[in-house]
Homo-oligomer: A and B are copies of this chain.
Amino acid sequence: MTTNGQDTQVDDSFHVFDTTLRDGAQREGINLTVADKLTIARHLDDFGVGFIEGGWPGANPRDTEFFARAQREITFRNAQLVAFGATRRAGGKAAEDPQVKALLDSGAPVITLVAKSHDRHVELALRTTLDENLEMVRDTVSHLREQGRRVFVDCEHFFDGYKANPGYAKAVVSAAYEAGADVVVLCDTNGGMLPAQIQAVVATVIADTGARLGIHAQDDTGCAVANTLAAVDAGATHVQCTANGYGERVGNANLFPVVAALELKYGRRVLPDGSLADMTRVSHAIAEVVNLTPSTHQPYVGVSAFAHKAGLHASAIKVDPDLYQHIDPELVGNTMRMLVSDMAGRASIELKGKELGIDLGGDRELVGRVVERVKERELKGYTYEAADASFELLLRAEAEGRARRYFRTESWRVIVEDRPDGTHANEAVVKLWAKGERILAAAEGNGPVNALDQALRVGLEKIYPQLAKLELIDYKVRILEGGHGTGSTTRVLISTGDGTGDWSTVGVADNIIAASWQALEDAYTYGLLRAGVEPTE
């Protein structure tokens, strides 16, 4: 395939077509600026998709600007830029249609035209005749081809349309293909199909029309990835996907599991060399740009995708990791993680130590001590599965014979007051010892934990200026042993970041404030350890 004059490693016989910037942007909660779109386009091009559908030029100024800037500012290495638009208006001429002209004006070398293929939609939504709709497809495709553009046609609601009137749905495919469309894409616009239906319809349409087909699946039945693969099984050679499955309603077929299945399960080369191993990073980077938390449980790329909890699994993984993973996580740039929990035993502690760069393999007695310590703490309500930093502090304390400490707590106090005027006051006082010095610090906050956090920071920053970079990024509370209500044990998990990474710590007490304090102590201790500061206490 030639893209902007350059040869790539991937050929034209199979298309990975990304529509994150058009269909993905329809997801509730996503609102992309032109700069966001340019950044995502760069990530997708680096990753190696063949086509990037950038939006609908002419439909809104943002998309028009994106096409102008993308062609000026991005040197595409792998992808071709695609403009999305509709067939010409009923009763007009494509050559005179302003919407069609805007597509040409975008300068995009490829244009995807959306066409109606469901008879009911033609009549109710488009309000024209079935024949005129076919003429709109023919005229628009021919005109764009005459202007030197490559054309793909998206048959909207194809599968519902095929159920209602298979003859007409196929007539739309033939009209598009015969007029010069390179690929006719069958769209499950409402997302209600299941793989067996998709496979049967795609196979029949290929047999009856001879057209080159693509698939566009929405995930409303939870089967978009499988539907996409079912179409490929039936002979489709063009798959439309979005990064992380973003899209209207539930979303679209997720690009990452689709390309991973094609490369790793089908043995079909669809990305440039080395790209697959970059998949986890690309997925997370795009999530950051659209400002959504990356899904922890996304296939292949989620942080939990290769995380093992059950003790049964852990002991087998020690024997051979492939016994409990369907692929080597490094193939997609992810890593195996052992979760430390009361379901786990010695094997998972050893594996976890290795992951942290602490080899415990030789020391059975030490591993036994750590297992005992974890069990004893988990019985009290601690959880180390979600508190890597607290676990590392525990492990290092056992391995090194003493806990790493940077400060000691003498006492603290926090007052929360609801005033008659409805406002709240939160005041904390902390008394600490660090480097032989007694520190007394006070602070206010918008809640009791925030007030304690501020007081701790105020008290320690003079001695440890490294703490200035630390920021609490998440705070979770869980009441254990339900059945006693507010008199129960409380577990607090805190995530803290320093701009280069983040870590989680845990605290448990019968008191939410005391539990929070413990988690804060661990969070600051780990932050100083990470910063390479020598323990002083």
Q: CB within 8 Å of B: which residues of A?
A: 26-29, 31, 33, 35-36, 39, 60, 120-121, 124-125, 157, 189-192, 194-196, 219-223, 225-227, 229-230, 233, 245, 248-251, 254, 257, 260-261, 265, 291, 293, 296-300, 302, 304-310, 313, 315-316, 319-320, 323-327, 339, 341-343, 383, 385-386, 409-420, 424, 426, 445-450, 453, 471-488, 490, 494-496, 509-514, 516-517
For the complex, would chain A's binding face be called helix, strand, loop or mixed by DSSP majority? Answer: mixed
Inter-subunit contact B415/A409 (CB<8 Å):
no
- Given A305-B220, A386-B28, A418-B517: A485 touches B471 (CB 8 Å cut-off): yes
B302 touches A250 (CB 8 A): yes
With A411-B420, A512-B449 given, is the CB distance from A222 to B485 under 8 Å?
no
Inter-chain contact B417/A410, CB cutoff 8 Å? no
Known: A35-B483, A418-B513, A477-B479. 8 other contacts (CB 8 A): A29-B386, A221-B326, A249-B297, A411-B420, A415-B415, A448-B513, A472-B485, A474-B483
Cβ-neighbour of A417 out of B36, B192, B307, B411 (below 8 A): B411
A310 touches B487 (CB 8 A): no
Nearest CB in chain B to that of A23: its residue: B310
**Chain B hits for A189, CB < 8 A:** 324
B residues less than 8 Å from A297 (CB atoms): 27-28, 245, 249-251
Asked if B298 and A514 sit within 8 Å, CB to CB, the answer is no
Among B33, B245, B310, B416, the residue within 8 A (CB) of A482 is B33
Q: What is the CB-to-nearest-CB distance from A103 to chain B, in angstroms, rounded to a whole number?
A: 16
Is the CB–CB distance between A512 and B447 below 8 Å? yes
In the complex, A449 Cα to B511 Cα: how many Å? 9
Q: Which residues of B are found within 8 Å of A306, using beta-carbon distances?
A: 249
> Are A308 and B36 neighbours in the complex by a CB distance under 8 Å?
no
Q: How far is the CA of A251 from the CA of B302 in the complex (A)?
A: 11
Q: Which residues from chain B contact A414 at a C-beta distance below 8 Å? A: 415-417
Q: Please tell me which one of the listed residues B257, B339, B448, B453 contacts residue A512 in the complex, with CB atoms under 8 A apart.
A: B448
Instruction: Point out the residue from B120, B249, B326, B490 that lies within 8 Å of A220, measured CB to CB.
Output: B326
- Contact of A28 with B121 in the complex, beta carbons under 8 Å: no
Roughly how many angstroms separate A509 CA and B450 CA in the complex, as a whole number?
13
